[in-house]
Amino acid sequence: MAEFGYDIDYAKKLLENDSLVAIPTETVYGLAANATSSIAVTKIFKTKERPSFDPLIIHTYSLDRLNDYVTSIPYKATLLTKRFWPGALTLLLPKKSNIPDIVTSGLDTVAVRVPNHPLTLALLKSLSFPLAAPSANPFGYISPTLAQHVNNQLGDKIEYILDGGACEVGIESTIIGFENALPTVHRLGGVSVEDIESIIGEVDVKPHSSSNPVAPGMLQNHYAPKKKLIIGNIDKLLQHHDNVGIISFQKQYNIQHQIQLSKKGDLDEAAQTLFGAMRQLDNEDISLIISEYVPNIGLGRAINDRLKRAAIKQ
């Protein structure tokens, strides 16, 4: 299995030699490689078994470095960085030629963000290149929010996991592009649409697609447990199914295998808990996971998006 630790110098050495390192962020753990090295980035796709048409996000440590990787930064994008960086917001911007096409799946835009985690920011500052870093899990499975989650899934394929504890946000970043007059949210995530609109005004929100994604994380079936997951009215579902596990927003049920996302009805806490809940129930001796949508406001929109995609293959 992989080695755990806090050794930034060791992680740097591995990355400079085109190896992969799992890194912590406030959203989920990422599987990182030198974003300017096609050889290193190819290892990400191979290790995750990720399709090459699904582009990656690159990570850097400051707005000042952004000009090294993109050709232009719209005014509204700059406003968002001043409010949400470091943080769970990714910008989709026209790329420079030093970002290989494999990172962007041949697209002329690159997704980039500044993550809000002290270990990873320190690592990024020590490097002369940005890091490409999708979630550190097999493609399509539940994203990892603990170092141990990474080790359980990919520990036999990578050398080192930079252990930054539990992820504070717990779901991936929001992705926004500026290719049209109206800024477009391509993926719901850790920064709410409402918060974005409070800074730059109205945005368009695109549904995810099942093919030809223009940004990372847009594929229809994603973030899924291996067990079947059904979404609906939990009380009614319990009338027709047994040997189940429940993921509820707030309500407590008299059943052995249940996880409440937030006993106090807090959507931020629910987001932090979601992927861990899926992962825990996926390892229980049950035949089915049943869940419900949370209030579709704020981070609830991103939570519901992840639930829908986890269930859609069923």
Does residue 208 lie within any of the structural domains?
no
Does residue 79 lie within any of the structural domains?
yes
pLDDT value at residue 181: 85
Domain that residue 11 falls in: 3-171
pLDDT tens, residue by residue, 4-62: 999 999 999 999 999 999 999 999 999 999 999 999 999 999 999 999 889 999 999 99
Contact 92, 73 (CB under 8 A): no
pLDDT tens, residue by residue, 68-113: 999 999 999 999 999 999 999 999 999 999 999 999 999 999 999 9
pLDDT category at 131 given cuts 50, 70, 90 is very high
Do residue 239 and residue 116 come from a single domain? no
**CA atoms in the 13 A half-sphere facing the CB of 299:** 22
Do residue 29 and residue 159 come from a single domain? yes
Token couple for 8: 């930034």
Do residue 13 and residue 152 come from a single domain? yes
Do residue 74 and residue 164 come from a single domain? yes
**Which residue, 171, 187, 213, sits at the end of a domain?**
171
Do residue 135 and residue 64 come from a single domain? yes
Residue 211 above 60 pLDDT? no
- Give me the number of domains the chain comprises: 2
User: Which of 4, 313, 27, 9 has the alpha carbon at shortest distance from 170?
Assistant: 27
Do residue 150 and residue 69 come from a single domain? yes
pLDDT value at residue 179: 87
Does residue 218 lie within any of the structural domains?
no
Do residue 144 and residue 251 come from a single domain? no
Does residue 94 lie within any of the structural domains?
yes
Do residue 112 and residue 237 come from a single domain? no
CATH number at residue 254: 3.40.50.11030
Strand order in the sheet with 288-291: 229-231, 288-291, 244-248, 258-260
Distance between CA atoms of residues 44 and 52, nearest Å: 10
Does residue 192 lie within any of the structural domains?
no
pLDDT value at residue 220: 65
Residue 297 above 70 pLDDT? yes
pLDDT value at residue 189: 97
Does residue 191 lie within any of the structural domains?
no
pLDDT tens, residue by residue, 51-73: 988 999 999 999 999 999 999 99
**Which residue, 153, 171, 189, sits at the end of a domain?**
171
> Over the chain, what is the mean pLDDT?
94
Angle between helices 118-126 and 8-16 (to 10 degrees): 50
pTM, two decimal places? 0.93
Do residue 38 and residue 165 come from a single domain? yes
Residue 229 above 90 pLDDT? yes
pLDDT category at 208 given cuts 50, 70, 90 is low
Buried b / exposed e across 142-153, counting CB within 10 Å, b at 16+? Answer: bbbbbbebbbeb
Residue 314 above 50 pLDDT? no
User: Which amino acid is located at 61 in the chain?
Assistant: Y
Beta bridge partners, 205, equal 185
Do residue 167 and residue 26 come from a single domain? yes
Do residue 51 and residue 159 come from a single domain? yes
pLDDT tens, residue by residue, 255-285: 999 999 999 999 999 999 999 999 999 999 9
pLDDT tens, residue by residue, 142-185: 999 999 999 999 999 999 999 999 999 999 999 999 988 899 99
Cα–Cα distances in angstroms (integers) from residue 90 to residues 134, 158, 191, in the given order? 12, 26, 10
Distance between CA atoms of residues 25 and 153, nearest Å: 18
Residue 212 above 80 pLDDT? no
Residue 209 above 90 pLDDT? no
CATH number at residue 84: 3.90.870.10
Do residue 113 and residue 242 come from a single domain? no
Does residue 204 lie within any of the structural domains?
no
Does residue 180 lie within any of the structural domains?
no
Cα–Cα distances in angstroms (integers) from residue 257 to residues 8, 148, 228, 241, in the given order? 39, 22, 15, 13
User: Which of 81, 275, 249, 265 has the alpha carbon at shortest distance from 167?
Assistant: 275
